[in-house]
């Protein structure tokens, strides 16, 4: 019996590994995932460029598989260094997605703020300097809002809602 391989390679992994073999909470080992892609690791004398091209091809297939699993099977893959990829259980997916996304947002806001801060202001006109100062103020506001959301937790029902108005109810 011959093995039929599908293109693109991530479809092989989807068919072999996620048709009941692995479920929520399981870790899919790196070796098994690579074997399911049918992208043989370069052996023998290879240039760095050849190895890097293979590595990037594998990463592209992993990303495509993760997107397909998320959109079609509602399964989120999270890298477990040195082991493989963990299929996040649904009850943890919201918190992990929010945590990962907010981490990226904070990183980009910090990058933007640094780029706005380190401007040669002596080379700016008065209007350009004012635009830069306004942009810095917006970046600081965004940063404060993101940091505020970091302190809040999803489903944190321990805080009482604030009352609006002057009543003593």
The pTM of the full predicted model, rounded to 2 decimals, is 0.69
Residues 57 and 120 in one domain: no
Half-sphere exposure of 57 (CA within 13 A, CB side): 16
Last-in-domain residue among 55, 88, 121: 88
Q: How far is Cα 138 from Cα 143, in angstroms, rounded to an integer? A: 9
Residues 96 and 84 in one domain: no
Residues 84 and 101 in one domain: no
| CB proximity list for 135: less than 8 A, separation 6 or greater | 116
Last-in-domain residue among 66, 88, 110: 88
Residues 26 and 84 in one domain: yes
Residues 77 and 119 in one domain: no
Q: Which range marks the domain in which residue 129 is found?
A: 92-151
Residues 45 and 114 in one domain: no
User: What's the domain count of the chain?
Assistant: 2
Q: Is residue 101 part of a domain?
A: yes
Last-in-domain residue among 73, 88, 103: 88
Q: Is residue 167 part of a domain?
A: no
pLDDT at residue 9, as a whole number: 83
Per-residue pLDDT of the chain (169 residues; tens, 9 = 90+): 346 567 788 888 888 888 788 889 999 999 888 888 888 888 888 888 888 998 999 999 999 999 999 999 899 999 999 999 999 999 999 999 998 998 999 999 999 999 999 999 999 999 999 999 999 999 999 998 888 766 665 555 555 555 565 555 4
- Integer angstrom CA distances of residue 129 from 111, 114, 125: 19, 16, 6
Residues 128 and 97 in one domain: yes
Q: Which helix (H) or strand (E) holds 80?
A: strand 76-80
Q: Is residue 117 part of a domain?
A: yes
pLDDT at residue 43, as a whole number: 82
Residues 20 and 69 in one domain: yes
Residues 116 and 76 in one domain: no
């Amino acid at each position: 019996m011959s093995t039929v391989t599908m293109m693109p390679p991530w479809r092989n992994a989807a068919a072999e590994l996620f048709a009941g073999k692995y479920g929520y909470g399981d870790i899919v080992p790196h070796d098994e995932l690579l074997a399911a892609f049918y992208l043989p690791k370069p052996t023998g004398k290879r240039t760095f460029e050849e190895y890097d091209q293979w590595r990037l091809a594998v990463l592209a297939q992993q990303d495509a598989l993760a997107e397909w699993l998320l959109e079609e099977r509602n399964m989120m893959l999270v890298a477990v260094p040195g082991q493989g990829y963990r299929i996040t259980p649904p009850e943890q997916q919201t918190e992990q997605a929010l945590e990962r996304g907010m981490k990226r947002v904070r990183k980009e806001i910090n990058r933007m703020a640094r780029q706005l801060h380190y401007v040669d202001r002596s080379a700016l006109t008065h209007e350009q300097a004012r635009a830069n100062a306004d942009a810095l103020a917006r970046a600081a506001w965004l940063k404060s809002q993101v940091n505020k959301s970091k302190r809040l937790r999803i489903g944190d029902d321990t805080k009482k809602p604030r009352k609006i108005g002057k009543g003593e109810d």
